[in-house]
Amino acid sequence: MFKLGILGVGKMGSAILSGIINGGLISKDEILLCDSFKDNLLKLKGEAYNVTENAEEIFDGCDAFILAIKPQSFGEITEISDGKDFSGKKVVSIAAGIGIDYLKSHFKGAIVARCMPNTPALIGKGVTAIAARKEDAEGLSLAKAIFSSVGKAYETDEDLMDLTVPLNGSMPADLYTFAGAFIDSATRRGVPYETAKALVCESIISSAEMIIRSKDDIETLTKNVCSKGGTTIAGLDRLLSGDFLKSVDDCYLACAERSKELSK
């Protein structure tokens, strides 16, 4: 019996695997990996991992397993899991919109944790929201240990999971778009790309640190950057005049609503 199985070893599954191994949580020989892409499995087998093409081997042969697959793939997987007894086994899912009720209905008796990581886990800087019920405390502990190995993990209420997806799961794409727009504006006007990228990205990092460390609220921090009649207020006024705040709210709602839709 393996201590852990990972079903789906794409970018996120691989990042999680690296965190587990590098953090010393579980050794290679105690892990079983499954993926639909044979090339992935051949590469992992060459790195001395235990691999299988059969999800059933993960379900039957592991004390705990991570479902690192897309929501659209769950139909195929639950055809295999339905009817099995998962009593005492821990199931950690990272699929957007796949709720705990759904997981418990298809993995009978399992200890379940629902998680939403983000792609910075690829560089060990992930931010993960985790939800689990009181009776599933062991699953919560396992999920926290796993996702703390690739960044930071935060517990949230189960009924808020869909509402947290825009805040971490999708946030990198929003920030990439925002940063990219400023970089593009600068490069079109002659600023070297590497200079523009460095200035924008380092400013985003340090500004985020200011939000975390400062006792001031975000409105006050914003005002502290702006001088009457200055450069910042000139740009900020133009940004806000274009329904920027409404666009952000619309983005948030669309993301959260899609997460809810995926659970149906």
Please report, as a single letter, which amino acid is at residue 221.
L
- Which pLDDT belongs to residue 65? 97
Give pLDDT tens digits for 70-86: 888 898 999 999 999 99
155, containing H or E segment: strand 151-155
Pair 8, 137 in one domain: yes
The total number of structural domains in the chain stands at 2
Q: Which residues touch 44 (CB under 8 Å, ≥6 apart)?
A: 9, 33, 35, 51
Please identify, among 161, 182, 198, the residue that sits at the C-terminal boundary of a domain: 161
Backbone angles phi, psi at 214, to 5 degrees: -75, 150
- Provide the whole-model pTM: 0.89
| Residue 263 reports pLDDT greater than 80 | no
Pair 137, 232 in one domain: no
Pair 153, 190 in one domain: no
Give pLDDT tens digits for 244-262: 999 999 999 999 999 888 8
Share of the chain above pLDDT 90, in %: 89
Q: Would residue 63 count as lying in a domain? A: yes
Share of the chain above pLDDT 70, in %: 100
- Which pLDDT belongs to residue 6? 97
* CA 122 remoteness from chain centre: 10
Range of the domain at 25: 2-161
How far is the C-alpha of 58 from the C-alpha of 66, rounded, in Å?
10
Pair 154, 208 in one domain: no
Q: Are 98 and 258 in contact (CB under 8 A)?
A: no
Per DSSP, the residues of 34-59 read: E-S-HHHHHHHHHTT-EEES-HHHHH
- Which pLDDT belongs to residue 113? 97
Q: Would residue 97 count as lying in a domain? A: yes
Please identify, among 161, 188, 216, the residue that sits at the C-terminal boundary of a domain: 161
Q: Are 64 and 1 in contact (CB under 8 A)?
A: no
Pair 188, 258 in one domain: yes
Pair 219, 115 in one domain: no
